[in-house]
């Protein structure tokens, strides 16, 4: 079974500052990793995914994440945030074989203020 | 673009009622999912389906059932609604397995059971 831990329930940051949202996972098998974003009153939208290959993954809206197998982490970063990045961010993991059900973390609310 | 449509954005029902939540996708996806989203708990999988008339229990199926009579439609049924089923419900769909396909989400149904 897989599990995901997002330690920060809320991250406040000023506009144009850098941000890192932390994600750690646990799994006995190899996994795929995902970050989804949920804007207010909307469903989830895929930001980026790691399947294999380069450990640095670039996504939409200037976000990137780095897969670290030894630390079982997949932290999300953006060098300069905008007010419009205010949203809830979910890290998710699935096994890379069999039926690939997603297991989600509890989410991190990013609050960007001017 | 993939479109996943949930029939209601907001729904208010009474305890003991039978409640139907409908979800339709327009991209011929094989897989469909129902999640509930609660603050501090993230998304939890209720049921999923990988083909017409096929269904599998997720992590929290108690009190729910599903129906998939057509490929594009996946219904979630609350047999006898209870107040602890007040939640945000999200439907998602994805292509059949291969290299892991992202899930595409609807905008959610906020269900209140009084």
Give the pLDDT confidence score for residue A114 in this predicted structure. 95
- Which of A98-102, B39-43, B74-78, B102-106 has the least mean pLDDT? A98-102
Q: Which two tokens mark B100?
A: 């892991």
pLDDT, position A99 = 72
Residues B6-20 pLDDT 10s: 999 999 999 999 999
Burial of B21 (0-12, 13-18, 19+ CB in 10 A): buried
A 90-109 residues inside an 8 A Cβ radius of B = 90, 94, 96, 99-102, 104-107
pLDDT tier for residue B2 given thresholds of 50, 70 and 90: low
Q: In the prediction, which pLDDT does A1 show?
A: 82
Tell me the pLDDT tens digit for each residue of A7-65.
Answer: 999 999 999 999 999 999 999 888 899 999 999 888 999 999 998 888 999 999 999 99
Using a CB-CB distance cutoff of 8 angstroms, which residues of chain B are in contact with residue A49?
100, 102
pLDDT digits (tens, 9 = 90+) for B27-71: 899 999 999 999 889 999 999 999 998 999 999 999 999 999 999
Structural tokens at position A95? 């096994």
CB A95 within 8 A of CB A29: yes
Instruction: Please list the residues that pair with B57 across neighbouring strands.
Output: B47
Query: Which chain B residue lies closest to A102 (C-alpha atoms)?
Result: B45
Cβ–Cβ contact A65 with B under 8 A: no
Q: Is B98 exposed, middle or buried (0-12, 13-18, 19+ CB in 10 A)?
A: exposed
A73 touching B, CB under 8 A?
Answer: no
* pLDDT, position B35: 97
Of the candidates B33, B21, B14, B10, which has an alpha carbon nearest to the alpha carbon of residue B78?
B21
Residue A19 confidence (pLDDT): 98
Q: Which residue of B has its CA nearest to A93?
A: B100
Check residue B61 and give its pLDDT. 96
Residue A28 is given by DSSP the state S
What is the model's pLDDT at position B11? 96
């Amino acid at each position: 079974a897989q599990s995901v831990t997002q330690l920060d329930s809320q991250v406040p940051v000023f506009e144009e500052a850098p941000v890192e949202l932390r994600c750690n996972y646990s799994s006995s098998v190899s996994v795929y990793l995902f970050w989804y974003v949920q804007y207010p009153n909307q469903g989830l939208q895929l930001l980026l995914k790691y399947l294999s290959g380069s450990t640095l993954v670039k996504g939409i809206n200037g976000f990137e994440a780095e897969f670290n197998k030894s630390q079982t982490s997949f932290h999300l970063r953006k060098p300069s945030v905008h007010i419009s990045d205010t949203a809830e961010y979910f890290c998710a993991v699935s096994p890379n074989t069999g039926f690939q059900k997603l297991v989600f973390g509890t989410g991190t609310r990013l609050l960007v203020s001017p | 673009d993939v479109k996943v449509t949930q029939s209601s954005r907001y729904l208010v029902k009474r305890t003991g009622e039978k409640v139907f939540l409908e979800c339709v996708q327009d991209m011929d996806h094989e897989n469909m999912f129902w999640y509930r989203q609660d603050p501090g708990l993230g998304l939890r999988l209720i049921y999923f389906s990988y083909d017409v008339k096929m269904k599998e229990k997720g992590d929290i199926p108690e009190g729910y059932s599903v129906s998939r009579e057509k490929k594009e439609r996946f219904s979630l049924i609350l047999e006898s609604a209870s107040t602890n089923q007040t939640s945000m419900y999200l439907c998602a769909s994805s292509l059949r397995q291969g290299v892991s396909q992202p899930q595409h989400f609807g905008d959610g149904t906020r269900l209140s059971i009084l």
